[in-house]
Amino acid sequence: MYKFKIPPTEDLINQNPYYRRFKIVIGSPLWKFYLGWAYKKCVEDFIKLNFIPDFNKKDFTCLLCGVGNEVTADEFIKFVITRNQQAKIKIIDLANEQTNAVSKLVEGKYSSFDIGIKQINALDLSSFIPKNSITWIETDGFLEFFSKKALNKLLDVWGIILKKDGFITLREPASIGKVGRLIDFFRIWIAKKWLGVTIYNHTKLDLDKTFREHGFSFTSAPTFIPTFTRYSLIKTGAE
């Protein structure tokens, strides 16, 4: 079990402008459209790995890791329950405004489904999620909250909680070349000044290497957001 502190994101836990301000982006109809597109494309991409994700599996359990806000939760829940009404859905975030908003959504709209929401640091996930129990982990713009060291810990934790035939989908800034580095620079600066959060730069090469080192096979492709790359991963070598 990891008890790994990440001081730069501690300021996310309470009363951070992130939730209120970033809602303009991730609460917009365009973002909902993007997410619907991204989930579908990432799932389709598994064919390139000769892998077919089975949403109808008994005990299908999924984790939305770092929910961001209730609009993302709503899109994710809809995507899952249209494929499997019995799915167990877990939604987590480090920050209380995010988890409170999602709890309200679920109480009002999805109370008959098996959905658990928890405010927790993703690095501590194995303290409440059993080993080899998650079928699908999904997230978007999440790895950038982790330094290189913390990202290694996170991938260890994901490897532990994911089932042997489990899968991961994510989209992440993964820069290539000088233009990518310039976009990274502005992204990190805007996140600090406007949203009050510290985020980190991971190049495409860094991310690919780190996923491989943690025993994941993956396929990647661009999205229509500059530098944002979609990844679909399966656990091949991880424990």
Ligand X SMILES: C[S@@+](CC[C@H](N)C(=O)[O-])C[C@H]1O[C@@H](n2cnc3c(N)ncnc32)[C@H](O)[C@@H]1O
Measured from the CB atom, is 87 or 137 closer to ligand X? 137
CB of 34 to ligand X, least distance (A): 8
Q: d(Cα 122, Cα 211) in Å, to the nearest integer?
A: 17
Binding ligand X (rule: CB under 6 A), the pick from 70, 93, 172, 184 is: 93
User: Per-residue DSSP letters for 113-155?
Assistant: SEEEEEE--GGGGGGTS-TT-EEEEEEES-GGGS-HHHHHHHH
CB of 31 to ligand X, least distance (A): 7
Measured from the CB atom, is 87 or 197 closer to ligand X? 197
In the chain, where do the E strands start and end?
61-65, 88-93, 114-119, 134-140, 162-173, 216-222, 228-235
CB of 50 to ligand X, least distance (A): 27
Measured from the CB atom, is 52 or 221 closer to ligand X? 221
CB of 14 to ligand X, least distance (A): 11
Q: d(Cα 210, Cα 227) in Å, to the nearest integer?
A: 18
Residues 94-153 that bind ligand X (CB under 6 A): 94-95, 98, 121-123, 139-142, 145
Would you state the structure tokens that stand for residue 84, as one six-digit string? 């499997």
Would you state the structure tokens that stand for residue 187, as one six-digit string? 């992204």
The answer to whether residues 169 and 43 touch, using CB atoms and an 8 Å cutoff, is yes
Contact status: 173 vs ligand X (CB under 6 A): no
Binding ligand X (rule: CB under 6 A), the pick from 42, 43, 62, 72 is: 72
Measured from the CB atom, is 135 or 138 closer to ligand X? 138
Whole-Å CA distances, 205 to 209, 210, 211, 212, 229: 6, 9, 10, 11, 12
Residues that bind ligand X (CB under 6 A): 6, 9, 12, 26, 35, 66-68, 72, 92-95, 98, 121-123, 139-142, 145
